């Protein structure tokens, strides 16, 4: 059976590493990105597999709809929602157009492309979706002194974690696997495009991130954290969340009652 993968943000960084690895593993590819020249160059460099290029800007409705149509009509065995922008800044300083771009690329686009892909995957009884988030998804409780403020970015990545976990449970028994990939700082162009110099910060390679993601799918991981050795830490986070969810009652908590 042929293997067909669609990768967004495929022209650089983690997305390019995914596309390279999948081509080497014999996947035919649909590569999505904003830059047609880079997409065409990738296709020309990989004649050993069938590569379809889809130039699309996932910050726009037209771009999202274009990719979602491909996801709905092609027999994908793997969807990698990798496209991203950062716009690291406090919410009050974040221009409205940049906030809209960030939410479109990291929330709306992966939600709609995943929605489009999973129906066919369920009908065929197999497939996988990898949503690329990051460890910043877990940084919400960090104090100001520890973590620079980037509320919309952190919130968007947290959405991908919750979406992926909940969807994985929804699809149990269908043969379709869902994974959210949460690397730390990765050595790519991503931060440079934001004007950030992280050359002095220890960083994981994009190739190692892809290795973790693909191995994580084999292991059945829903949350893949490539740089976290002790996975019991993640288990504790999720167990605490479920404990709080399960501790609800219809009565007002004591601390909110006036004397």
Question: For residue 129, what pLDDT is reported?
Answer: 98
- Provide the pLDDT for residue 106: 97
Q: Tens of pLDDT along 210-232?
A: 999 999 999 999 999 999 999 99
pLDDT at residue 66 above 80? yes
pLDDT at 195 over 70: no
**71-93 pLDDT per residue, tens:** 999 999 999 999 999 888 889 99
At residue 1, the pLDDT reads 62
Handedness of CA 22, 198, 39, 47 (dihedral sign): negative
Binned at pLDDT 50, 70 and 90, residue 142 comes out as confident
In this prediction, residues 22-34 reach a mean pLDDT of: 97
pLDDT number for residue 258: 85
pTM, 2 dp = 0.93
Burial of 88 by CB count in 10 Å (0-12 exposed, 13-18 middle, 19+ buried)? middle
For residue 155, give the nearest of 222, 229, 233, 94 by alpha carbon: 94
Burial 204-221 (b: 16+ CB within 10 A, else e): bebebbbebbbebbeeeb
Cα-trace Rg, the chain? 19
Mean pLDDT value of segment 186-202? 62
Mean pLDDT of the chain: 93
* Catalytic residue from among 18, 42, 138, 153: 153
- Can you give the pLDDT at residue 186? 80
Told to judge if 153 belongs to the known catalytic residues of this protein, a careful annotator would answer yes
């Amino acid at each position: 059976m042929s293997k067909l993968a669609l990768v967004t943000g495929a022209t650089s960084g983690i997305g390019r590493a995914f596309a390279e690895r999948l081509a080497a593993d014999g996947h035919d590819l649909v590569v999505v990105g904003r830059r047609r020249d880079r997409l065409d160059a990738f296709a020309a460099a990989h004649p050993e597999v069938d590569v379809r290029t889809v130039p699309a800007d996932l910050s726009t409705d037209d771009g999202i709809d274009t990719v979602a149509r491909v996801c709905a009509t092609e027999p994908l065995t793997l969807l990698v929602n990798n496209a991203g922008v950062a716009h690291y800044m406090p919410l009050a300083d974040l221009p409205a157009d940049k906030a809209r771009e960030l939410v479109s690329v990291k929330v709306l686009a992966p939600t709609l492309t995943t929605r489009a892909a999973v129906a066919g995957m369920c009908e065929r009884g197999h497939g996988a979706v990898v949503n690329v988030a990051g460890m910043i998804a877990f940084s919400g409780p960090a104090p100001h002194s520890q973590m620079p403020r980037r509320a919309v970015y952190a919130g968007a990545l947290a959405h991908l974690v919750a979406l992926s976990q909940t969807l994985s449970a929804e699809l149990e028994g269908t043969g379709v696997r869902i994974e959210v990939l949460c690397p730390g700082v990765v050595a790519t162009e991503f931060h440079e495009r934001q004007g950030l110099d992280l050359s002095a910060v220890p960083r994981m390679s994009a190739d190692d991130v892809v290795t973790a993601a693909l191995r994580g799918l084999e292991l059945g991981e829903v949350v893949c954290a490539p740089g976290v050795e002790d996975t019991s830490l993640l288990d504790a986070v999720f167990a605490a969340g479920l404990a709080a969810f399960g501790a609800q009652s219809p009565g007002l908590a004591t601390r909110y009652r006036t004397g």
